[in-house]
Amino acid sequence: MENHFNDQSTECSASSESNDCQRVDQYGFERSEDFSYESYEDLMSKHLAVVTRRSKKWSKLLQGTVKVENNVKVKRYVRKGVPFENRTQIWMAASGAQDRLERNPGYYHSILKAQHDPKIEEVIHADMHRTFPDNIQFRASSQPCLQKALFNVLLAYGHHNKDVGYCQGMNFIAGYLLIVTKDEEKSFWLMDALLGTILPDYYTPTMLGLKMDQEVLGELVRMKVPAVWQVMNQHDVMWTLVVSRWFICLYVDILPVETVLRIWDCLFYEGSKILFRVALTLIRRHQNLISQAQSLPEICKRFKQITHGEYVEDCHTFMQKIFMEPGGLSTATITKLRKMCRNRISSAQNPPSH
């Protein structure tokens, strides 16, 4: 099978123009016109000091092993951030993807070689040019170009999980997995862990899991940030209007790259509860801004505003906040709310016949 990756980094080569280099971040994303290099330098100097420190601690913890223990110490380490060079290994081990890959050698490549459903191929093709147009790694002119790898991962997953097939949002998730792992097969198995185990029913045709978790967030906001719940209720705003992209894209293209990767560290290790912590922290932090909105369009606009700015750019501080701001959030509470919301949605979809 052709390998679409080599060791080429997204960082600019020495022969590149330094200006070109500055215009693109380490993951290949172009920086916006109003990008502040000054505040970025300041943030990065602090960020690199933390990353270097964490990197040494992770090296000592792992000591050449590929297994990741499930204990309080590792959980604390994950919450403080997994170094980029260890990320693939940690995600693969923590999510069970490594285990599935080893139990199914050659499976991924066999799906790619098999006969494919032209309908799935067609919808995936249609989304290719919409996937990270601001990332140089996904352009046809790029060497290596991640578009072919992205197509392969999505095509294989669509045939592996026929209940899901393909739906929009999956392209962003597969894209991020490829940026991190630089490996099609590992991206495929991580996708399987996310969509099959960590977030079941998010991407099925009924999207019951997604709808349920949006309702669960609404219930959590009612308990923890009543002022926002009140304004949402007053203007009859459905949660799906303001947070569906947060959940379906797992914050990709919503929050800064570095912050998303830190959220995903916890998502692979601890599970989907982290998605609620992030949402609650954003809403609670900006509750005054949201609750002062006077109309439905204004509420939607303010929910977009709260995912930008310094608060979310400083990933270390933001990640500390998500474990403090929302307060206690037990698995038992989430399970209970999910059951309640699932029943509510099912009843609305299948009203009892008289």
What are the tokens at 79? 């919450």
**8 has a pLDDT exceeding 60:** no
Domains with residue ranges and CATH for the chain: 78-196 (1.10.8.270), 208-346 (1.10.472.80)
- Between 130 and 282, name the one with better pLDDT: 282
Q: What is the pLDDT of residues 288-346, one digit of tens each?
A: 999 999 999 999 999 999 999 889 998 999 999 999 998 899 999 999 999 999 999 98
Which has the minimum average pLDDT: 41-50, 207-216, 238-247, 270-279? Answer: 41-50
* 12, amino acid identity: C
The pLDDT assigned to 172 comes to 95
Kindly report whether the global pTM for this prediction surpasses the value 0.85: yes
Average pLDDT for the chain: 88
Q: How far is CA 318 from the centre of its chain?
A: 15
Other Cβ atoms closer than 10 A to 304: 11
